[in-house]
Amino acid sequence: MKSHIGGLILVILLGLFALAGALIPRTQVAYAHEISIILTLIAVALGYRIYLHGIRSLRHGNVTAQLFATIAIFISVVAGLMLPSASATGTAEAVGYLTASAIVAFIILAGMTLEDYIIHRTRGALEALTKMSPTTARIRRDGVEVEVPIDEVKLGEIVLVKPGDKIPVDGTVISGHSTVNQATITGESIPAEKTAGDRTFAGTLNEHGALEIKVEKIAEDTTLAHLIQLVEEAQEKKAPIQNVADRFTTYFLPIMAILSSSVFAVSYFALGFDVALARTVTVLLVACPCALSIAVPVAVASTIGNASMNGIIIKGGTHIEKLKDVKLVAFDKTGTLTVGEPKVVEIKTFGNYSEADVIKYAAVAEKFSEHPLSKAIIAKATEMGMKIPDPTEFKTIPGHGVDAYYGNKHILIGTKMMETEISEEANKLMNRVESEGRTAIPVALDKNVIGVIVVADTVRENSLEAIHRLKRLGVKTAMITGDNTRTAKSIAEQTGVDEYHAELLPEQKVAVIREMKKGNVVAMVGDGVNDAPALANADVGFAMGAAGSDVAVETADVALLGDDLTKVEYAISLSRKAFTRMRGNIVYAFIWNIVALSLAALGILNPVLAVVLAEAGCISVVINSALLLLSKPKPLPHAITVGTEAHPVT
């Protein structure tokens, strides 16, 4: 693009050098022949992309701005080199024709370059998905543990997965206990406990504890492989939209061709060949839709520039046109509407114990635990400024909780660890917490329950505002998640989304998105690998940047560099404003051309003045589009409240 801009500047400088003489008919121009040769080489050699595009469009029966520019440039060059009254005398007329042709070439070329700025999605997302699946697996054959390539694993064999390893196959646990981080597949924020009889997915991470898994799906049949296929299929379905200006020029340019022919015929019989040719070339140069050719791409570039300055990367003009029509935005839950990490949100104490006491004893017991919820308790203790001592004794009982001693104090963590009956008050609290989709962790000291710690994935600070902004814009909202219904209901009520869909696997999310698309233009906002197929199948996919996975960012059409979900509404409103500006540019360019055509047909303009007038139209379009760079998000006029209750959709 830099080379095109540099060439355009060179042409303009040469054109201005010749312009002074060109404005005065029959005036001699110094070094006219040398300048003519330079301008001809520039117009013919460096504008080859225009000519190839124009000829190709003609062969396919399409009338485009590039085709009309090719005709105008060709006739202008021929006139400048061969017209007796110009070339023979070395006057400004010859230089004027060639200056006009070169400027037209570079104006159109600049427009084509900006159009090429549309960024296409790379296949990096598919590669990242593929890398998630292990290439080898440990299996037991004839009583011996061996490591084999994943392609050699057979259905029904037993795969051994050690702590910290990725699970290589889809299957069922037959032995062992562990927690598995399967956010990449299901989107669950809290790792799932796995014991005998539980399902596992290829590409998920076994956090602690060994597992023996019976192989049920391998290679292309695994859930992860299915994700890759879904993303690939969705990417192939995405087709670029036809440029607004090109659709308009399909009807406009043939009319201009007829008009120029009429001007030549009338002028030839009335005023002679030289005048007829001059007026015809002038008409063609004015009619050549320079402003039309950049009316859309410059607005697109300005919109993308504004968005990037506000932390939004829109991957091309195609997505701007789609964004303006969005009527429904679907959000993933984990890591998108929520922070994506378990956090202590409530501490209930019993007896004479304080919140600090409950957290202190729980943190001591959980200090060496590998359970994901223990990290939330340790983080809370650290936040409260505590120094956590080591437990005297420590024992984790899989599926039950923690049994520890601190000096002569006996600490029990977990509902199944309680050795005494839990009070009615504590039971009510735990039942309420569980019904809200949160996790209640009772803490007992010397067999007496001293408190309950409530852990949950918390809603992002700006989620409620983001939903409110979208509703103000007239856009409906939904949440789709792989998490359980109780948790989904709680988050939906806290954020104010219109509807929610829970307990969905990636392929089910795709089905929900496809159903939503019936009658709506749908945007999807997500952050994880499990979101990639849904992002690709939505009309517009948004990926969280700082908080999101690389796969989701590469698969999506729009990337949010931070975690601010209010940018979703801004991207939609900016796109609507941009599309209005695009249409305005086209209408303005059309009116401008009509005025200029009238002046050219009457002989008031010469070729160089015609190009100057056309350039003025282009500059006006650029300025109008550049105003998009000044657009800023609008503040909310009042405080935010959740207006309606979300409802589940099955």
pLDDT digit string (tens) for 397-437?
A: 776 788 899 988 999 988 766 666 677 888 888 888 877 77
Question: Using CA atoms, how far apart are residues 575 and 400, in angstroms rounded to an integer?
Answer: 53
Length of the chain: 650
Residues ≥6 apart with Cβ < 8 Å to 290: 69, 104, 107, 108, 111, 614, 615, 617, 618
Residue 47's pLDDT band, with cuts at 50, 70 and 90, is low
Question: Phi and psi (nearest 5°) for 157?
Answer: -75, 165
Q: What is the pLDDT of residue 420?
A: 64
What DSSP string describes 4-17? HHHHHHHHHHHHHH
Q: Which of residues 474 and 635 earns the better pLDDT score?
A: 474
Distance of CA 34 to the CA centre of its chain: 50
Q: Provide the 3-class DSSP secondary structure of residue 608.
A: helix
332 is catalytic: yes
* Whole-number percent of the chain with pLDDT over 90: 17
pLDDT of 90 strictly over 60 = no
Q: Quick check: 470 pLDDT over 60?
A: yes
| 8 A C-beta contact, residue 162 and residue 136 | no
At 22 the pLDDT is: 43
Maximum CA pair distance of the chain? 116
Contact predicate 478/331, CB 8 Å: yes
pLDDT at 296 > cutoff 60: yes
Question: In the predicted model, is pLDDT for residue 455 greater than 80?
Answer: yes
Parse the chain into domains and list their residue ranges. Answer: 134-221, 313-338+460-573, 339-457
Confidence label for 222 from pLDDT (cuts 50, 70 and 90)? confident
Is residue 347 within 8 A of residue 358, CB to CB? The reply is: yes
Give mean pLDDT, residues 347-360.
Answer: 91
- In the chain, the percentage of residues whose pLDDT exceeds 70 is 68
Both tokens of 60, joined, read 């396919």
DSSP 145-212: EEEEEGGG--TTPEEEE-TTPBP-SEEEEEEE-EEEE-HHHH--SSPEEE-TT-EE-TT-EEEES-EE
CATH code matching the domain that covers 134-221, chosen among 2.60.120.1440, 2.60.40.790, 3.40.50.2300, 2.70.150.10? 2.70.150.10
Q: Per DSSP, what are the bridge partners of residue 139?
A: 146, 159
pLDDT tens digits along 121-177: 334 444 555 566 788 888 988 878 888 898 888 888 999 998 888 888 889 999 998
Q: Which of 171-180, 554-563, 600-609 has the highest mean pLDDT?
A: 171-180
Please give the pLDDT value at position 32. Answer: 52
DSSP 219: G
Characterize the bridge pairing of strands 312-314 and 558-560.
antiparallel
pLDDT tens, position by position, 4-38: 445 445 544 444 444 444 444 444 444 555 555 66
The closest of 280, 260, 263, 253 to 606, measured between CA atoms, is 280
Using 50, 70 and 90 to split pLDDT, how confident is the model at 647? low
**Alpha-carbon distances of 627 from 296, 298, 499, 536, rounded to whole Å:** 14, 11, 37, 32
Which residue from 611, 596, 608 is spatially nearest to 108, judged by alpha carbons?
611
- Secondary structure of 364-413 as H, E, C letters: HHHCCCCCHHHHHHHHHHHHCCCCCCCCCEEEEECCCEEEEEECCEEEEE
**CB-CB neighbours of 599 under 10 Å:** 16
Q: Domain 313-338+460-573, what fold?
A: Rossmann fold (3.40.50)
| Interatomic CA distance for residues 447 and 113, integer angstroms | 75
Within 13 Å and on the Cβ side, how many CA atoms surround 634?
12
* Helix or strand (DSSP H, E) at 235: helix 223-237
**pLDDT for 417:** 67
CATH topology of domain 339-457: Calcium-transporting ATPase, cytoplasmic domain N (3.40.1110)
Cβ atoms of 445 and 417 within 8 Å: the answer is: no
Tell me the C-alpha distance between 115 and 19, whole Å. Answer: 30
Q: What is d(CA 129, CA 228) in angstroms, rounded to the nearest whole number?
A: 6
pTM: 0.64
Highest averaged pLDDT of the listed ranges 268-277, 303-312, 406-415, 618-627: 406-415
Q: Which residue has the higher pLDDT, 556 or 602?
A: 602
- Max mean pLDDT among 42-46, 408-412, 546-550, 553-557 falls in 408-412
User: Which pLDDT tens digit goes with each residue over 479-488?
Assistant: 998 887 888 8
Beta bridge partners of residue 480, listed in sequence order: 332, 501
pLDDT tier, 458 (very low <50, low <70, confident <90, very high otherwise): confident
Are residues 125 and 554 in contact, defined by beta-carbon separation less than 8 angstroms?
Answer: yes
Angle, CA of 612, 92 and 271, to the nearest 5°: 85
Q: Which of 170, 332, 457, 563 is catalytic?
A: 332
Lowest mean pLDDT among 130-134, 232-236, 442-446, 610-614: 232-236
The label of the residue with tokens 């070439």 reads 105
- Between the ranges 221-225, 599-603, 646-650, where is the mean pLDDT highest? 599-603
Task: Pick the more confident residue, 573 or 447.
Answer: 573
> What are residue 441's DSSP bridge partners?
453
**Which two tokens mark 625?**
């589009």
Report the candidate in 168, 190, 170, 187 with the shortest Cα–Cα distance to residue 179. Answer: 190
3-state secondary structure of 215: strand
Strand bridging mode 199-200 / 393-397: unpaired
DSSP-derived secondary structure letter, 649: -
Q: Please tell me which of 484-488, 498-502, 600-604, 614-618 the model is most confident about, judged by mean pLDDT.
A: 498-502
DSSP conformational letter for 538: S
pLDDT-derived band at 380, boundaries 50, 70, 90: very high
Per-residue confidence at 457, pLDDT binned at 50, 70, 90?
Answer: confident
Tell me what the mean pLDDT of segment 270-282 comes to. Answer: 78
pLDDT of residue 237: 39
Instruction: Kindly indicate the confidence band of residue 61, based on its pLDDT and cuts at 50, 70 and 90.
Output: low
Give the type of residue at 338: T
Q: Which of 296-300, 348-352, 532-536, 544-548 has the highest mean pLDDT?
A: 348-352
Quote the pLDDT of residue 326.
94
Between CA 281 and CA 610 the distance in angstroms is: 9
Using an 8 Å Cβ cutoff, are 439 and 433 in contact? yes
Q: What share of the chain is helix, strand, coil (3-state, %, to 5)?
A: 55, 20, 25
- What 3-state DSSP class applies to 595? helix
Q: What is the pLDDT of residue 545?
A: 62
Asked whether the beta carbons of 401 and 415 are under 8 A apart, the reply is yes
The least confident of 493-502, 534-543, 551-560, 585-594 is: 551-560
Using DSSP, state whether 26 is helix, strand or coil: coil
pLDDT at 15: 46
